[in-house]
Amino acid sequence: MIYELVPTELHDELNAFRHDLEKMTLQHIETCPFCGENKFYLIRSKPTSTYRCKACYKYFTIATNTPFNRLTPFNWLEIIFINRIENKSYHYIAEKKLDCSLEKIMRRDHAIIEYLHAHYPALYRWYIAHDQSDLTPTLAEQHKVINDKITAILNEKNPSCIHCSSTDTTKVGSRTCYRCKRCRRSFNLLGDTPLNRLPKPELWIEFINLMVAGQNNMQIGKKLNLNSSTISSWRAIWCEMMKIWNCEALAIWCSRR
Domain residues for the domain of 174 are 137-254
Mean pLDDT, residues 55-67: 95
- Helix, strand, coil content of the chain in percent (nearest 5): 50, 10, 40
Chain Cα centroid distance, residue 214: 11
Q: Please tell me the predicted confidence (pLDDT) of residue 1.
A: 60
What is the mean pLDDT of the segment spanning 167-186? 87
Tell how far CA 18 is from the center of its chain. Answer: 23
Q: What is the DSSP letter of 159?
A: P
Give the C-alpha separation, 211 to 133, whole Å. Answer: 12
Instruction: Among 87, 106, 130, identify where a domain stops.
Output: 130
What is the structure's pLDDT at 188?
A: 86
Last residue of a domain, one of 73, 99, 130: 130
Q: What pLDDT shows up at residue 156? A: 85
My answer on whether 249 and 183 are in the same domain is yes
Whole-angstrom distance, CA of residue 38 vs CA of residue 27: 15
Classify each residue of 195-222 as buried b or exposed e, where b means 16 or more C-beta atoms within 10 Å of its C-beta. beebeeeebbeebbebbbeebebeebbe
Number of domains, the chain = 2
Same domain, 113 and 176: no
Most confident among 86-90, 109-113, 177-181 (mean pLDDT)? 109-113
Does residue 174 share a domain with residue 122?
no
Per-residue model confidence (pLDDT) at position 108: 96
User: C-alpha dihedral over 213, 5, 126, 233, to 10 degrees?
Assistant: 40
Please say if the pLDDT value at position 49 is more than 70: yes
Considering the chain, what percentage of its residues have pLDDT values greater than 70? Answer: 96
Length of the chain: 257
